[in-house]
Amino acid sequence: MADLDTTLRELAQRFEAAIAAARDEHALDEVRIRFLGRTGELTVVRRGIGALPPAERPTAGKVINVAADAMEARLAAARASLERASIDASLSDSIDVTFSGPPARRGMLHPVRAVMADVAHYFSQHGFAIVLGPEIETDANNFDALNIPPDHPAREGFDSFYLRPDLLLRTHTSPMQVRAMRASGPPIAVIVPGKAYRRDAVDARHLYQFHQVEGLMVGPGIHFGHLKGLLTGMMRELFGPAQDIRFRPSFFPFTEPSAEVDVSCPGCGGAGCRTCSGSGWIEIGGSGMVHPNVLRSVGYDPDGVTGWAFGCGLERIAMKKYDVNDIREFVENKPAFLEQLA
């Protein structure tokens, strides 16, 4: 045992000298391998236990294990000391405060948000109030109060996102017509920007989550000419005075008469392409005179007041405004695309 103690003491002295000479992590790792590795000096000593008398072997094993634990602890302390020294050195580095920093990247509005602001500004200049509504709507507000019958296809789960039988993600911003009229008597003039949700197949013109702006004006003597004048003015303010616009007869349960509002396609300028399915036109939204049943459902007298309403897709407007051929570009979050439009 005396020889083992001497061997371990000399080994510890060499180990300590090697630790003191190590200046980085790599050197420390070499010290660990030299003394504690599979062929290291302490491992060789441990393998010599078999040559000792049987009675001395347990004690020798304990002594060697204590030496090994001490070496491992010393290595850990040396490694921690090197890490602290590295941190201290980095903190002491001088900083040239006169050196130019990286240029700041300027933030920007998303193009759909910018179009929303433009539309809101146009109508606010014409005396319209801007109101917001919930994206989770009751089935009654989303369909019943808007004169949409129980067997209408839009009420099927294949077309709408139902959360429970009486609640769904609104399929249009039109429920805010109902909420606004119930909250205020005529006359009323509001626009409602916001998100809507439908189970549409995603393609160049459709998304299942999209943005709309709803417009409503109700009062004595309101007629379809007011609607055409304001929507035409909005389109020409957004796209320029020469913008082509058309109103196509259509059908919506909550308006009568009804019309689709189209603008010439940004992809082909009216010649016909994939974006417009060859028609040369992009559908922006629907419009019409508020149906008498809708007025009755909110307590208005259809014999005393009339009104019009419209709902336009903001992505469709943005496609035209920024000459974008595919609506999916607005949700793919490509920095180059967004920076170009900014």
How many domains in the chain?
2
142 lies in the same domain as 61: no
Apex CA 141: angle with CA 139 and CA 145, to 5°? 110
In a domain, 105, yes or no: no
State whether 11 and 54 are in the same domain: yes
SS3 call for 182: helix
Is residue 97 one of the residues assigned to a domain?
no
Check which CATH number belongs to the domain holding 324 and give it.
Answer: 3.30.930.10
Single residue among 91, 123, 145 that ends a domain in this structure: 91
Q: In terms of domains, do 76 and 208 share one?
A: no
This prediction has a pTM of 0.65
Asked whether residue 180 falls in the same domain as residue 249, the answer is yes
Segments in the chain forming alpha helices (H): 2-21, 25-36, 41-47, 57-91, 111-125, 139-142, 175-183, 224-239, 292-297, 314-321, 335-341
Q: Which two tokens stand for residue 342?
A: 């900014």
Task: With respect to residue 222, please indicate whether it lies within any of the assigned structural domains.
Answer: yes
In a domain, 99, yes or no: no
Cα separation of 262 and 281, whole Å? 6
Is 231 found in the same domain as 125? yes
Tens-place pLDDT, residues 199-252: 888 888 888 899 999 999 999 999 999 999 999 999 888 888 878 889 999 999
Asked if the structure places residue 106 within a domain, the reply is no
Shared domain check, 116 and 85: no
DSSP class of 198: -
Q: What is the DSSP string of 50-112?
A: GGS-TTTHHHHHHHHHHHHHHHHHHHHHHHHHHHHHHHHHHHT----TTSPPPPPPPP---HH
Give the pLDDT confidence score for residue 4 in this predicted structure. Answer: 78
Q: Within a domain: residue 322? A: yes
Same domain, 16 and 44: yes
Please indicate, yes or no, whether residues 217 and 71 belong to a single structural domain of this protein: no
Q: CB–CB of 196/172 below 8 Å?
A: yes
Q: What pLDDT does 114 receive?
A: 92
pLDDT at position 338 is 81
301 occurs within a structural domain: yes
**Those residues with Cβ within 8 angstroms of residue 87's Cβ, 6 or more apart along the chain or in another chain:** none
- 216 and 336, same domain (yes or no): yes
Residue-by-residue pLDDT tens, the chain, 342 positions: 557 788 888 888 888 999 888 888 888 889 888 888 888 888 888 888 878 888 888 888 888 888 888 989 989 998 998 888 888 777 766 677 787 878 877 778 899 999 999 999 999 999 999 999 999 999 999 999 999 988 877 777 678 899 998 999 999 999 999 999 999 889 999 999 999 999 888 888 888 899 999 999 999 999 999 999 999 999 888 888 878 889 999 999 999 999 999 888 766 766 777 767 777 888 888 999 999 999 999 999 999 999 999 999 999 888 888 888 888 999 888 888 888 876
Please indicate, yes or no, whether residues 8 and 129 belong to a single structural domain of this protein. Answer: no
pLDDT reported for residue 217: 96
Specify whether 45 is located in the same domain as 124. no
Please report, as a single letter, which amino acid is at residue 27. Answer: A
Assess whether 63 and 14 both reside in one domain: yes
Residue 101 within any structural domain of the chain? no
Q: What was the pLDDT predicted at 93?
A: 64
Q: Which residue range(s) make up the domain with 227?
A: 111-341
